[in-house]
Chains A and B, each alone.
Chain A
């Protein structure tokens, strides 16, 4: 019995050794395959880089982000104005900037304060409905089209959102001109979501940049792409801020419609395909859409389950989690801060908001360009994200204190003077 136990134990140890050797060999094979793949990737990237330049996609990103940046401010202002008119806070003939909020004489009038809160609550509720009905189509389109991106190419991901935006802004133009009901705001949001909205376009653009750059160049290209995105948060925002001071919504909506039509034409005529056949015909785009299948959706989670050399699998999961959390914070901030700053007692208007945001993004462009030129270990290390996240938390706390910290009331006026000095 003892012998049998001993034999079994020996057998077990041998089996364990074989397993360890097998696993080690497997790991080595995996690492070798990965190195080969990496080499292949780099050579194919270099080939693609010769054929296409990553920055060809930038005009589309700029157009999309211009729309995405001005859209919330435009809609927020439009919704607030509609409800202010409904509650009798402003005269319909007055310009949008002449709100009850900006009038110092009525700051202490309790009835107006009450109505102002009612307006904020109504806009907030409409935002909730719009977001609720737009979320499902947007996510479904994103998953289906995004998962097929490596099969159908990058161009369909750029074309679809442009079509959605053209329909959306046509509806908004009709809403502004014909004073249609809030239902049309909701419908325009659903259509935008169905066509993938900004997220699908940005996915296509990022994948395009990744296709056309090598590992070494990528950080720099991504930083410059972020700088281009930041650029769209300055001039369009300032433009819309100044415009909404004295004028209506027709022109900004029409411009958004126009630039999206121009972007669509640009993609069809000038934008080469970085993945797959480079065909500029419209029927080819429809043919590509017909190739969309549900099976690649599995790949969206399998990519995190594949065993990789070193700690790459763990790093992919952690980096993705970090990005997800950061997006939650960013969207939370973006969705609420215009309404918060518009409210009492800060009483920002579209221009104040545009100046504040523009100042932020001007500095971001500056820092992005510096970092892209300064290609060191710092830009490729994870120390930079750590510092960035920590500082952003402090930034949020400052915003939260804005209603009580007295110098922010002064700051609201001083920042404008300071920027223009």
Chain B
């Protein structure tokens, strides 16, 4: 049961990074040669800003909710995950 649980968790995580590669590859096929870098900038801004701002927000939420229930932040992230799922769907 435990092995199965972790096997599942590990499998899920690995697929996430494959998703990023496939999406990126799709994106480059839709633009011209001179737009390769430009099209990644929008995601890159979020990537750069995200590593800081999202870090601030998640740490702030975690610091506030640690005494109530520390796992709340993961549920919030899971809810946000529904948006790309809906877009992709």
CA distance A304 to B40 in the complex (A): 11
Q: Which of chain B's residues 52-89 have a Cβ closer than 8 Å to chain A?
A: 52-60, 62-63, 66-67, 69-78, 80-85, 87-89
Report whether over half of chain A's contact residues are helix, strand or loop; otherwise say mixed. helix
CA distance A150 to B13 in the complex (A): 33
Could you say which residues of chain B place their CB within 8 Å of the CB of A327? 43, 46-47, 50
Q: How many residues on the B side are at the interface (Cβ–Cβ under 8 A)?
A: 81
Residues A319 and B77 in contact in the complex (CB < 8 Å), given A363-B10, A415-B6:
no
Residues A134 and B52 in contact in the complex (CB < 8 Å), given A206-B40, A399-B74:
yes
Could you say which residues of chain B place their CB within 8 Å of the CB of A397? 74-75, 78
B38 to chain A, nearest CB (A): 5
The contact size tier of chain A is 35 or more
* Contact residue among B5, B69, B85 (Cβ-Cβ distance under 8 Å from A411): B5
Contact A131 B59 (CB under 8 A): yes
Contact with B along A29-55 (1 / 0, CB 8 A): 000001001001100110000000000
Contact A143 B45 (CB under 8 A): yes
Could you say which residues of chain B place their CB within 8 Å of the CB of A128? 55-56, 59-60
Could you say which residues of chain A place their CB within 8 Å of the CB of B34? 150
A148 to chain B, nearest CB (A): 9
A267 to chain B, nearest CB (A): 17
Could you say which residues of chain A place their CB within 8 Å of the CB of B70? 340, 343, 403
CA distance A392 to B41 in the complex (A): 24
Contact A360 B10 (CB under 8 A): yes
Contact A325 B87 (CB under 8 A): yes
Contact B82 A400 (CB under 8 A): no
Contact B45 A139 (CB under 8 A): yes
CA distance A258 to B35 in the complex (A): 34
CA distance A128 to B3 in the complex (A): 35
Q: Which 10 A-B pairs have the closest CB atoms?
A: A364-B14, A135-B52, A400-B74, A388-B19, A400-B71, A149-B37, A335-B55, A395-B12, A391-B12, A388-B15
A-B contact pairs, 6 of them (CB 8 A): A128-B60, A149-B37, A323-B24, A331-B47, A384-B15, A387-B15
Chain A interface residues (CB < 8 Å from chain B): 34, 37, 40-41, 44-45, 117, 120-121, 124-125, 127-128, 131-132, 134-135, 138-139, 142-143, 146-147, 149-150, 193, 197-200, 202-203, 206-207, 210-211, 215, 218-219, 222-223, 225-226, 229-230, 296, 299-301, 303-304, 308, 312, 315-316, 318-333, 335-336, 339-340, 343, 359-361, 363-364, 366-368, 371, 379-380, 382, 384-404, 407-408, 410-411, 414-415, 418
